[in-house]
Amino acid sequence: MANRNKSNRISRRWASAVGLVLMLCYLLVMPSVLFPRLGINQYKEWLSPSIEPHSGILSVWHIVSFKPSTGSLGAWLKSRAKEYSKDLVGIYFEVETYTVSEAEERMASGREPDILSFANGTHSAQGLLTINGEYQYDISSGTYGGALIAVPYCASGNLLLYKSGLHGSTEEELLQRAGTVEDFKKGRADACIADARATGDMYRAWLDGSGEAFEAMPIKGENSLVQYLAITTSVEPELNRYAQGFIEYIGSSKVQSKLTSLGLIPMNKSAECKYETEWNAALADAFDMALIPNSFDRYYSGSAS
């Protein structure tokens, strides 16, 4: 009797296993039989991102006016463009980096990008489209005529560098003793005003033993070392939505957090800020968005020249 019950249990288990296998086979085979008759490749739809209604290449010109304390903002933008477009089948971004003079030469020859990255006060509002989207931070420095024309997305700043032995001196006293960056490097000046890249270079020189130790404090006040993204009238109308989406993506807190790897200051205050050096963190803490001048006011007034 016991053997018969054991045999029944084994039979039921085998029947359940066979039923499960048959069910799996049905689920795997039926889509390949049914969906082709309906003109559907279900496996491809499950595994592949949807194809966009339009396709094309969006050109992005990053024009260098100031440099981050480390790395390349142009390369950073290229990585972000790749991230943004990875699920946009048929949409591609081509990011190129130029100096101001190189960009001017290309524009003079009739070439224009779809998206432009430029510094505060270095480009007019002419030839730029209104930008839509939602930004969780102050974007007023990129407005013109009541419309948003350019979105600020990162900033840097200047620092007052001085010899470690002068710790405790006031900013006014240090500024009176300041010379050029080159003089400070060679010990001919006790202090100097330097941008983040020059400060970063001297910091790395100190780390590898080829430079002297120094102290640094951020210079407070109006700051025009701000970079913007704008869309030009050269963009194809059907691709404008992707250009708008890319700029909004760059302004998101998650993406803004990645700027700190370059030592840059995010515009979005919800971004997570982690810096490798105390002076970079102090520069970010001292940054005041209310003191950013309007980019287009500076351009038309000529004060950025």
Q: Is the pLDDT of residue 24 over 80?
A: no
Spatial contact of 283 and 159, defined as CB atoms under 8 Å apart: yes
Contacts of 252 (CB under 8 A, 6+ apart): 268
Distance CA 218, CA 38 (A): 66
Confidence of residue 30 (pLDDT cuts 50, 70, 90): low
If one compares 282 and 42, the residue with the highest pLDDT of the two is: 282
DSSP calls for 210-274: SS--EEEEEPPS----EEEEEEBTTS-GGGHHHHHHHHHHHTSHHHHGGGGGGTPEES-TTS---
**pLDDT for the residue numbered 44:** 46
Question: What residue type is assigned to position 229 of the chain?
Answer: L
pLDDT, position 3: 46
The secondary structure of 9-68 as a DSSP string is HHHHHHHHHHHHHHHHHHHHHHHHHHHHHTT--HHHHHHSPPEEEEEEEEEEEEEESS--
Where is pLDDT greater, at 113 or 13? 113
What pLDDT shows up at residue 14? Answer: 53
Q: What band does 46 get if pLDDT is binned at 50, 70 and 90?
A: very low
User: Mean pLDDT throughout 249-267?
Assistant: 97
Give the model's pLDDT for residue 139: 97
Which band of pLDDT confidence, cut at 50, 70 and 90, is reported for residue 12?
A: low
Which pair of structure tokens corresponds to residue 37? Answer: 């008759």
* Confidence band, pLDDT 50/70/90 cuts, at residue 169: confident
Per-residue pLDDT, averaged over 99-118, amounts to 96
pLDDT at 40 over 60: no
Q: Determine the pLDDT at residue 26.
A: 54
Helix, strand or coil, per DSSP, at residue 70 = coil
Residue 70, pLDDT > 50, answer yes
Q: Residue 163 and residue 161: Cα distance in Å, rounded?
A: 7
Q: What is the chain's mean pLDDT, rounded?
A: 88
Mean pLDDT, range 191-213, rounded to an integer: 96
Q: Picking from 42-51, 61-70, 180-189, which range would have the lowest pLDDT averaged per residue? A: 42-51
User: Is 50 exceeded by the pLDDT of residue 34?
Assistant: no
Q: Which residue type is seen at 285?
A: D
Q: What is the mean pLDDT of residues 109-120?
A: 97
Nearest CA to 154 among 53, 255, 297? 255
* Token pair 């708008």: residue: 244
Residues of the chain with CATH 3.40.190.10: 51-155+223-272+291-301
Q: Tell me what pLDDT residue 2 has.
A: 44
pLDDT score at 55: 86
pLDDT value of residue 195: 96
Least confident interval from 26-30, 86-90, 229-233:
26-30
Looking at domain 51-155+223-272+291-301, which CATH architecture does it have?
Answer: 3-Layer(aba) Sandwich (3.40)
pLDDT for 6: 44
Is 184 a residue whose pLDDT tops 60?
yes
22-36, 59-73, 250-264: least confident range: 22-36
Q: What is the mean pLDDT of residues 235-239?
A: 97
